[in-house]
């Protein structure tokens, strides 16, 4: 057989034939795994078992094909021509992975699920990518898919009386290159394992807080009612309200008390459309765009102030309540208190192990929120002039409830190593998650009393923010929140009213 024909048929086998056989093996491997599924306990074990069975069956198929091919074909004598078609396809996915992850890291993205498209057969690799703590093994699995059939091919050649040196000629360089690529890929996978937040696809469904219990017009709302009709009643031209995740019960409670049906029999929809719950970044965007009148949030970030200034607007901030910014750990973590200095050192990257702050030895997994969110803006103020460390990369956008879930379940490699932050009422009243505890800061617990007396060191004002001249009804609503009725409603919802005025070192 000529060298050209040999390369053609062997590349056809390695690039098309073997992957198809391996995929067939994966499909057939699922069948016995499903049959044996009833003896496997629930959890991740069934998927892992299916993965192993599929891998064994797929490699068995490819080895039989490669062995038979080695016995039938007459390869050239030069080693690179003989073994190259089996080794070069291993170089491509390994090299592509290195380049792909470098690009992802450069742009702050995570695409381990996307990166499997560079590998084949895809099903086994995709299954392995489900496991954060096994991700660094992917390059070794890629190598198995080629080295094992490669050895079967050599055995087949020997059975036919043909043999070529394993390290003769240029083939030794191919072996060395593959070894280097595998080690680099494994190192990248290990680093990614340490920097990726675990998948939380079911967080919102399982633990996520629904706004329905705090909806102004829900039949079974948790929102309190004033003991007497409020002095302010609005039956038309309802002010459009929006705000942060942590504060929508405030304006929903006010609307429940103040927004009444118009005398002409307007339906509830007209009142409901005046209320939105779009979270801090989008609430500021909608306010600047003129889509809402008042938003209930913390002070804006520099970027949000700049966005308003670009539109020729000035944000007007009216404080109405006080809230504690709190730090969270898993209840299995022995740590009960951190100092502000320790918090800043952890989130700047100076401290990376719980042992350095009096806990058990182990890496601190310091969770952060997306830029522009209310809690992230507050965190930047807490850090002062110290820069925030590069955050753990996210597979999904981390909502506040997702962060609480990740801390409370200690789901990251089954270790109570996580540290996160939120707000007192959100973490204890709106969306309490089992397994989460709040830390004292500088020895002071984040209680409502310590917020009122100003002892807790991380107290921040909650604001009503406007960007344009307010309508008559919106002005009345703003003034009402500052009166005794509005302040009493804020307290009954579960927050700390602004009076007496709060003092915080971070404003």
- The string of pLDDT tens digits covering residues 110-151 is 444 444 444 444 445 555 555 555 666 777 777 777 778 888
292 and 173 part of one domain: no
Radius of gyration of the chain (CA): 30
Tell me: the pLDDT tens digits for 279-316?
Answer: 888 999 999 999 999 999 999 988 999 999 999 999 99
**Residue 455: is its pLDDT beyond 90?**
yes
For residue 501, tell me if it sits in a domain.
Answer: no
- The whole-angstrom separation of Cα 286 and Cα 501 is 29
Domain count, the chain: 3
pLDDT in the model for residue 325: 94
The confidence band for 30, taking pLDDT boundaries of 50, 70 and 90, is low
Q: What's the Cα-to-Cα distance from 208 to each of 204, 369, 435, rounded to whole Å? A: 4, 16, 15
For residue 84, tell me if it sits in a domain.
Answer: yes
Q: Helix, strand or coil for residue 98?
A: helix
**Whole-model pTM above 0.85?**
no
The confidence band for 457, taking pLDDT boundaries of 50, 70 and 90, is very high
Is the dihedral angle over the CA atoms 215, 221, 226, 230 positive or is it negative?
positive
Q: Which two tokens stand for residue 455?
A: 């002892």
pLDDT in the model for residue 35: 66
pLDDT in the model for residue 105: 62
174 touches 86 (CB < 8 A): no
Q: Which two tokens stand for residue 267?
A: 């339906």
Strand 337-338 to strand 365-366: parallel, antiparallel, or no bridges (unpaired)?
A: unpaired
More confident residue, 401 or 255: 255
User: CB neighbours (10 Å) of residue 16?
Assistant: 10
**Residue 181: is its pLDDT beyond 80?**
yes
For residue 174, tell me if it sits in a domain.
Answer: yes
54 and 188 part of one domain: yes
pLDDT in the model for residue 119: 46
160 and 249 part of one domain: no
- The whole-angstrom separation of Cα 65 and Cα 44 is 32
CB-based contacts of 208, cutoff 8 Å, min separation 6 = 399, 401, 402, 431
For residue 507, tell me if it sits in a domain.
Answer: no
The confidence band for 445, taking pLDDT boundaries of 50, 70 and 90, is very high
CATH classification of the domain holding 344: 3.40.190.10
350 and 399 part of one domain: yes
Tell me: the pLDDT tens digits for 33-61?
Answer: 666 655 555 544 556 666 677 777 777 87
Q: What's the Cα-to-Cα distance from 132 to each of 112, 135, 336, 412, rounded to whole Å? A: 10, 5, 29, 9
User: CB neighbours (10 Å) of residue 44?
Assistant: 10
For residue 502, tell me if it sits in a domain.
Answer: no
Q: What's the Cα-to-Cα distance from 382 to each of 305, 437, 458, 461, rounded to whole Å? A: 19, 20, 8, 14
Domain encompassing residue 276:
204-313+471-495
CATH classification of the domain holding 263: 3.40.190
Mean pLDDT lowest among 93-102, 248-257, 352-361, 416-425: 93-102
- Give CA angle at 207 (134, 43), nearest 5°: 35
145 and 255 part of one domain: no
440 and 351 part of one domain: yes
For residue 414, tell me if it sits in a domain.
Answer: yes
For residue 466, tell me if it sits in a domain.
Answer: no
**Residue 184: is its pLDDT beyond 50?**
yes
For residue 378, tell me if it sits in a domain.
Answer: yes
Q: Which residues pair with 297 in a beta bridge?
A: 463
More confident residue, 191 or 491: 491
pLDDT in the model for residue 121: 45
Tell me: the pLDDT tens digits for 224-242?
Answer: 776 778 899 998 899 999 9
412 touches 406 (CB < 8 A): yes
Tell me: the pLDDT tens digits for 425-434?
Answer: 888 888 777 7
417 and 328 part of one domain: yes
Q: Which residues pair with 329 in a beta bridge?
A: 419, 437
390 and 412 part of one domain: yes
Where among 142, 165, 196 does a domain terminate? 196
Mean pLDDT lowest among 87-96, 156-165, 442-451: 87-96
**What is the average pLDDT value for the chain, to the nearest integer?**
78
Question: How much of the chain, in percent, has pLDDT values that exceed 90?
Answer: 27
219 and 354 part of one domain: no
Tell me: the pLDDT tens digits for 194-223?
Answer: 555 544 433 333 334 445 567 777 777 777
37 and 54 part of one domain: yes
Query: Which of the residue ranges 261-265, 332-336, 403-407, 455-459 has the most confident prediction, judged by mean pLDDT?
Result: 455-459
369 and 448 part of one domain: yes
Mean pLDDT lowest among 28-42, 200-214, 415-429, 435-449: 200-214
- The whole-angstrom separation of Cα 130 and Cα 112 is 9
Where among 149, 178, 196 does a domain terminate? 196
pLDDT in the model for residue 456: 96
165 and 211 part of one domain: no
pLDDT in the model for residue 128: 58
**Residue 26: is its pLDDT beyond 50?**
yes
Query: Which of the residue ranges 48-52, 70-74, 274-278, 406-410 has the most confident prediction, judged by mean pLDDT?
Result: 274-278
Query: Which of the residue ranges 4-13, 49-58, 282-291, 491-500 has the most confident prediction, judged by mean pLDDT?
Result: 282-291
Tell me: the pLDDT tens digits for 366-391?
Answer: 888 877 778 888 999 999 989 988 77
**Residue 507: is its pLDDT beyond 50?**
no
Which helix (H) or strand (E) is 299 found in, with range? none
118 touches 97 (CB < 8 A): yes
């Amino acid at each position: 057989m000529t060298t050209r024909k040999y390369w053609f048929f062997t590349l056809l086998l390695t690039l098309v034939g073997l992957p198809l056989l391996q995929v067939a093996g994966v499909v057939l491997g699922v069948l016995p795994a499903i049959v044996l599924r009833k003896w496997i306990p629930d959890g991740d074990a069934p998927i892992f078992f299916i993965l192993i069975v599929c891998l064994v069956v797929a490699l068995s198929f490819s080895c039989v094909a490669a062995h038979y091919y080695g016995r039938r074909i007459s390869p050239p004598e030069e080693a690179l021509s003989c073994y190259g078609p089996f080794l070069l396809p291993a170089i491509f996915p390994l090299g592509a992975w290195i380049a792909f992850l470098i690009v992802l890291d450069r742009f702050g993205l995570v695409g381990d699920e996307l990166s499997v498209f560079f590998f084949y057969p895809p099903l086994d690799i995709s299954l392995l990518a489900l496991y954060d703590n096994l991700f660094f093994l992917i390059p070794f699995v890629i190598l198995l898919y080629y080295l094992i059939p490669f050895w079967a091919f050599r055995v087949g050649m020997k059975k036919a009386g043909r043999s070529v040196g394993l390290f003769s000629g240029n083939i030794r360089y191919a072996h060395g290159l593959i070894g280097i690529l595998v080690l680099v890929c494994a190192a990248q996978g290990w680093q990614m394992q340490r920097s990726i937040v675990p998948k939380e696809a079911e967080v919102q469904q399982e633990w996520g807080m629904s706004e329905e219990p705090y909806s102004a017009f829900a039949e079974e709302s948790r929102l309190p009612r004033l003991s007497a009709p409020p002095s302010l009643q609005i039956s038309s031209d309802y002010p459009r309200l929006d705000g942060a995740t942590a504060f929508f019960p405030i304006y929903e409670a006010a609307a429940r008390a103040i927004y009444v049906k118009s005398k002409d029999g307007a339906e509830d929809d007209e009142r409901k459309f005046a209320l939105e719950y779009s979270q801090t970044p989008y609430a500021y965007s909608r306010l600047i765009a003129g889509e809402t009148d008042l938003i209930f949030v913390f002070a804006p970030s520099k970027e949000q102030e700049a966005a308003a200034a670009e539109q020729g607007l000035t944000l007007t901030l009216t404080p109405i309540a006080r809230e504690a910014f709190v730090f969270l750990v898993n209840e299995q973590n022995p740590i009960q208190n951190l100092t502000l200095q320790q918090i800043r050192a952890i989130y700047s990257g100076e401290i990376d192990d719980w042992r350095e702050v009096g806990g058990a030895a182990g890496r601190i997994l310091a969770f952060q929120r997306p830029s522009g969110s209310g809690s992230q803006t507050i965190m930047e103020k807490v850090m002062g002039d110290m820069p925030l460390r590069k955050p753990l990369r996210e597979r999904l956008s981390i909502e506040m409830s997702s962060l609480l879930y990740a801390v409370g379940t200690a789901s990251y490699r089954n270790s109570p190593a996580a540290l996160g932050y939120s707000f007192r009422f959100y973490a204890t009243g709106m969306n309490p998650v089992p397994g989460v505890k709040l830390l004292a800061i500088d020895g002071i617990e984040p209680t409502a009393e310590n917020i009122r007396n100003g002892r807790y060191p991380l107290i921040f004002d909650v604001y009503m923010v406007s960007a344009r001249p307010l309508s008559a009804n919106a002005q009345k609503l703003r003034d009402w929140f500052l009166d005794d009725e509005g302040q009493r409603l804020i307290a009954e919802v579960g927050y700390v009213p602004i009076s007496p005025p709060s003092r915080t070192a971070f404003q």
